Amino acid sequence: MLICHVCAAPLTEADRAMRCPNGHSFDLAASGYCNLLTGSRSGKYIGDDRDMVAARRRFLESGAYALLRDALCRLLLSLTEGRDGLSLLDAGCGEGYYTRAAAAALRDAGRLKQAVGTDISKAATRYAAGRDRSVRYVTANSYRLPVADGAADLILSLFAPAPAEEFLRVLSPRGLVIRAVPGADHLWELKQAVYDEPYRNREDKHRLAGFDERDRVRVEYPFALDSPGAIRDLFSMTPYAKRTPREGLDRLERLERLDVTFSFLLLVCGPSALDS
């Protein structure tokens, strides 16, 4: 499933490295992840840093998004009924919370051949690989995936960039993309607490060029954030963390507890049918 980002030849594991037939070699870290990221000549850190990954890990391991995780697994099993030998790609996998669960559900059902998780954050892929050796985690850019043409039967894109052209390239003929995006009311109470003029999320903006939406599943439920730490960890996972003015951050810091709405859409997308 993985290919060399230098020459596009297949990669195989040998002697603690991923190697291609043309002699290119990429070391496997002690935790098991492989860095296949290119384009960072300056050596500057790219993607979520260690603190951001840790905050997301704490929040997810609290069980706050467990209902979404379970809904995703049920959807995958429903979509793959009667199929086996499947290849799963989680593009933008983060610390692997959903990747581990999705791969395990398909594996337990006897349907999974291989699973790969990619993320631009080295901190995220390092942590993911340390938790789960059954999935190959690699540091890579979703806009230049180190994945062979047509190699992925299922692509997960969960709160992550969804490069349509690249997804079309790596998706198999019967393949599907499953996306998770915010619903209209997602985090509404948090936005009310932080912003003077909060707005609801648009649900009509998630079209993926070259794909048709085959189905959508709504997952929505209330949740109590019962400590300032939980509120901060959630906020740090959102796009608002980097664009909220100081006044809003001060309001956030004063929150001791917050009842919030979690609202998600799981979108099932398949390549658009060609005109006859």
Q: Burial, 262: exposed, middle or buried (Cβ in 10 Å; 0-12, 13-18, 19+)? A: buried
Q: What is the pLDDT of residues 155-179, one digit of tens each?
A: 999 999 999 999 999 999 999 999 9
pLDDT at 276: 33
Structure tokens at 200: 């609801």
Residue 17 pLDDT grade (very low, low, confident, very high; cuts 50, 70, 90)? very high
Cα dist. 121→20, 59, 87, 95, 127 in Å?
23, 18, 22, 9, 10
pTM metric for this prediction = 0.94
pLDDT at 40: 45
Q: Alpha-carbon distance 23 to 173, whole Å?
A: 31
Longest dimension (CA), the chain: 60
Which residues, in sequence order, are bridge partners of residue 34? 28, 138
Q: Alpha-carbon distance 263 to 247, whole Å?
A: 26
Q: Alpha-carbon distance 232 to 236, whole Å?
A: 6
Domains and CATH numbers, the chain: 32-271 (3.40.50.150)
Q: Alpha-carbon distance 86 to 107, whole Å?
A: 9
Residue 274 pLDDT grade (very low, low, confident, very high; cuts 50, 70, 90)? low
Q: What is the pLDDT of residues 168-207, one digit of tens each?
A: 999 999 999 999 999 999 999 999 999 999 999 999 999 9
**Are the C-beta atoms of 149 and 170 separated by less than 8 Å?**
yes
Residue 275 pLDDT grade (very low, low, confident, very high; cuts 50, 70, 90)? very low
pLDDT at 43: 46
Q: What is the pLDDT of residues 116-150, one digit of tens each?
A: 999 999 999 999 999 999 999 999 999 999 999 99
Q: What is the pLDDT of residues 27-73, one digit of tens each?
A: 999 989 999 986 444 345 468 888 889 999 999 999 999 999 999 99
Q: Alpha-carbon distance 266 to 181, whole Å?
A: 7
pLDDT at 41: 45
> Which helix (H) or strand (E) element contains residue 182?
strand 171-182
